[in-house]
Each structure stands twice: as structure tokens, then as C-alpha cells.
Amino acid sequence: MFRIYKIHFSILFIFTFVLVNCSEEKKNDQSLLAIAALQAGPGGLIGGLAEPALGTATLVLDSDSFNLLNQEECQDGNIGVIISKDTGPTLPILNIHMIDMSKNSGIFLEAGALSTGSHMDLDHNDGNTYGVVNDCPAFVMENTLTIYDLQVLNCQIADQFGGGPNKKMMSFRARCTKS
């Protein structure tokens, strides 16, 4: 029964994708393409990482998984979301700055000089600070008056704030209580 439902839903989703993408103003919008690619994955409708507990994040670097258990910040603007592995300066620490929490779509982690996206840096226990190599789409999984849940999948990062030779593939899902 579930398999038939998923097939029907996939056909409906593809039809909707084609119909919406045919309008003139949508021809350069790639957000639906990214959602379609995620839908095709084995993780379900959107796929990706399981929902972490409130005030925590799940971080995957290559094949290593980390549970970040200490929410330090969760606010709109420059400070953004900061979640560390544990209380105190325990690494890794996920920092996502310049977040516009009024938006539920069109969000991305921006590589290089910041102009319209959010900035991410990851303080890693190998002593390096990582940043994104290329812009990466970010997906708001939940956005209420008190909760902000953001997911990024398969984003390439590198040391030296994205400009270094040491590269990793990163995915994360951060779920925090807004302050």
C-alpha cells in the first residue's frame, strides 16, 4: 500500500514540478530542482537527517557523525545559530551566521564574501576552521515562533574558511529554541 502511495505521490510531484517550472519567471529558479533531487533519495519525502532533539544538532562529516548537544545561540541576524558538542569550548562547534529567520525558502550557505546568503564556519577538533567551498542550499524543516530547524545536505567544506586543501563533505540538521 505504501509503495503504491509513494509512486502516485512521485508522479504527482513530477507533474507539479514541470507545471510550476514552465512559467516564465520560474525558468531560472533552481530551488524546485533541488527539492526534486532530495525527494528521489531513500530518506522519504524530503530525505536527509532525522530530526534532532530541540537545542541540538546532528553533524555528519564524511563518514563521521557528531551529536552537538549544547545550543549556545539561536537568533535572527549576525549571531545566528551556534551549537557545540558539549558545554564549554568543546569541538566541533557549528556556527551559522546572518540567518534571516523570517524566510522559509531560498536559503543557502554562501561561499566567499557574504552578499545575500548565510555564512557557516565549523570549528573542528582537528584544529581547523572550515567553510563552504561552493554555495549550498539550506532547507528550513520547521520555523515557528519558538523553534528553528535547518538542514543542509552534502555540502563540500574546506579548512581555511573554505579556501584550504583539506576538504570534507558535510551534512547537518540543527534544531534550536529561538532566543
Q: What is the DSSP string of the chain?
A: -HHHHHHHHHHHHHHHHHHHHTSGGGTT--HHHHHHHHHTSTTSSS-SSPPPPTTEEEEEETTEEEEE-EEEEE-SBSS-EEEESSTTTPSPEEEEESB-TT-SSSEEEPPSS-SSSBEEEEE-TTS-EEEESS-EEEEEEEE-SSEEEEEEEEEEEETTTTTSS-EEEEEEEEEEE--
| Residue 21: per-residue pLDDT | 53
Name the pTM for this structure: 0.72
Q: Quote the Cα angle for 33-49-66, to 5°.
A: 130
| Residue 87: per-residue pLDDT | 78
| Residue 137: per-residue pLDDT | 96
| Residue 71: per-residue pLDDT | 96
Angle between helices 31-39 and 2-21 (to 10 degrees): 170
pLDDT along the chain (179 residues), means of 10: 44 50 48 45 58 97 94 95 86 94 94 82 89 95 97 94 86 97
Q: Quickly count: other Cβ atoms within 10 Å of residue 35's Cβ.
A: 18
| Residue 113: per-residue pLDDT | 72
| Residue 55: per-residue pLDDT | 97
| Residue 29: per-residue pLDDT | 47
| Residue 126: per-residue pLDDT | 86
